Amino acid sequence: LDVSRMDSRFTVDFLVDYYANDLLYFLKYWISHNFEPDVETYYAKIDVLFKNSIKELNIRYMDKS
């Protein structure tokens, strides 16, 4: 990851901490739900979260009513 062009608040340590904590949360959640859904479905959900901004997720997936 090239952080040289990123905002100075996003240090390598910050990014590592952020993504590590997110991954730990997802794993805890998955384990506590008896590994449901299956690994492929769960990975696809995580993949969408990591590859999209909160704003994009809100626009695409949240109920707009």
Expressed as residue numbers, the domain containing 27 is 12-61
Give me 54's structure tokens: 């909160």
Residue 1 covered by a domain: no
Residue 55 covered by a domain: yes
Number of domains comprising the chain:
1
DSSP state of 6: S
pTM greater than 0.85 (yes/no): no
The model's pLDDT over 5-64, given as tens digits with 9 standing for 90+, comes to 666 777 878 888 888 888 888 889 888 988 888 888 888 887 887 777 766 766 666 655
What b/e readout covers 8-28, taking b as 16+ CB neighbours within 10 angstroms?
A: eeeeeeeeeeeeeeeeeebee
For residues 21 and 26, give the distance between their C-alpha atoms in angstroms, rounded to a whole number. Answer: 9
Q: What is the pLDDT of residue 2?
A: 62
Q: What is the pLDDT of residue 65?
A: 46
Residue 22 covered by a domain: yes
3-class SS of residue 53 = coil
For residues 34 and 15, give the distance between their C-alpha atoms in angstroms, rounded to a whole number. Answer: 29
